[in-house]
Amino acid sequence: MVVVCPGCGLAAPAGGGARPDAYGASAECWERYGELLARSYGIAGHRPVHQLVVDAYVAQHPGGDGRREVQRLALCLMTLCLFVEEGADPRDGPALHKRMMAGRPDYFHWLRPPRLDGLMTVADVLAARDPAEHGRLVWEWGRDVWRAWEPCHATIRAWNARALT
C-alpha cells in the first residue's frame, strides 16, 4: 500500500510508523525527515543548511492552527524569507528565531497554506550523493517552498520588519 503525505504529496510505501500530531505529515514522510535530520547532525558538510531543512519541511507541513503550530510556522517562514530573499546565512537561524521571539510577539496568526504538493520533497534531498549536492538541493527545496507561499509573502515580510527592527 502507498501512503500520500497530506503536506507535500510524497507517495511512499506504508511503513506503519507514528504520524506526528503537530505537523501535517504522513508517518512515512516524517520518517524520511528524521533521516534527513540525522544526516544534518551527523555529516559536517550538511550542517550549514540545517535550519533551511527545518524551515522548508515545517513550511511544507504546517499542521494545525493552535498557538504553537502558528508560532512554529511563522518563525520558519520568517527565516525562510530571510534566507531566500535577503541572503541570510541559515547558520544564523536559531539566533534569528531568538530575536524574533524576544518581544513575545502576539501578532502571529494562522496563514492559510497554499497548495504544497507537487513541489520538491524531503525525498528529493535525501537523494543527494555528497554534501555539495545536498546543499544545492536544500536551497532548491527552500526556494520552491518559499515560492509556494507567495500569497502570504507580504504578511511574512511585515512580521520580519516588526520583529527585527
CB 127 within 8 A of CB 89: no
Give the three-state DSSP class for 86.
helix
Range of the domain at 131: 2-164
The per-residue pLDDT for 47 is 83
Grid coordinates of 126: 535525501
Confidence (pTM): 0.94
CB 124 within 8 A of CB 137: yes
The per-residue pLDDT for 111 is 96
Tens place of pLDDT for every residue, the chain, 165 residues? 899 999 999 999 988 677 777 688 999 999 999 999 998 888 877 788 999 999 999 999 998 889 999 999 999 999 999 999 999 999 999 999 999 999 888 999 999 999 988 889 999 999 999 999 999 999 999 999 999 999 999 999 999 999 998
CB 2 within 8 A of CB 13: yes
CA distances in angstroms from 104 to 84, 120, 162, listed in the order given? 25, 33, 12
User: Which helix (H) or strand (E) segment is 126 a member of?
Assistant: helix 122-126
The per-residue pLDDT for 16 is 67
CB 10 within 8 A of CB 28: yes
Domains of the chain: total: 1
